[in-house]
């Protein structure tokens, strides 16, 4: 069994995380989405959201599935992040608002 690259080289993972956060910032500006800057990235275990779906947490973090941690480069995350940003902005806000007032 080989040791995962992010354990051998944590600085590289930090660079990748920073690059992903920069992509989110760039996409937000390009799409005209106003949002608070990300506080960080959380690599989570299987949860309720799909494997290929980045989840923007209420507390300002981006949750990504740990199964994809070494499998996708920051550039490969770009289309997933873009679709997630659009969904979050266009639909998730309404969904949360409806839950509050329901």
Model pTM above 0.85: no
pLDDT along the chain (102 residues), means of 10: 55 87 94 85 77 80 87 93 87 54 50
pLDDT at position 22: 95
Number of domains in the chain: 1
Residues spanned by the domain of 94 = 5-101
pLDDT at position 2: 57
Give the DSSP per-residue string, the chain.
-PPPHHHH-HHHHHHHHHHHHHHHHHHHHHHT---PPP-EEEEE-S-SS-TT--EE-TTSEEEEEGGGTTTS-HHHHHHHHHHHHHHIIIIIHHHHHHHHH-
CATH of the domain at 77: 3.30.2010
Torsion (CA) 39, 71, 51, 6 in degrees, nearest 10: -50
pLDDT at position 73: 92
pLDDT at position 36: 80
pLDDT at position 95: 54
């Amino acid at each position: 069994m080989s040791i995962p690259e992010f354990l051998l080289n944590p600085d590289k993972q930090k660079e990748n995380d920073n690059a992903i956060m920069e992509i989110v910032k760039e996409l937000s500006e390009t799409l005209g989405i106003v949002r608070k800057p990300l506080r960080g990235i959380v690599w989570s275990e299987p949860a309720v959201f799909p494997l290929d779906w980045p989840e923007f947490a209420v507390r300002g973090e981006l949750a990504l599935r740990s199964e994809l941690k070494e499998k996708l480069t920051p550039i490969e995350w770009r289309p997933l992040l873009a679709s997630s940003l659009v969904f979050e902005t266009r639909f998730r806000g309404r969904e949360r608002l409806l839950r509050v007032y329901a």
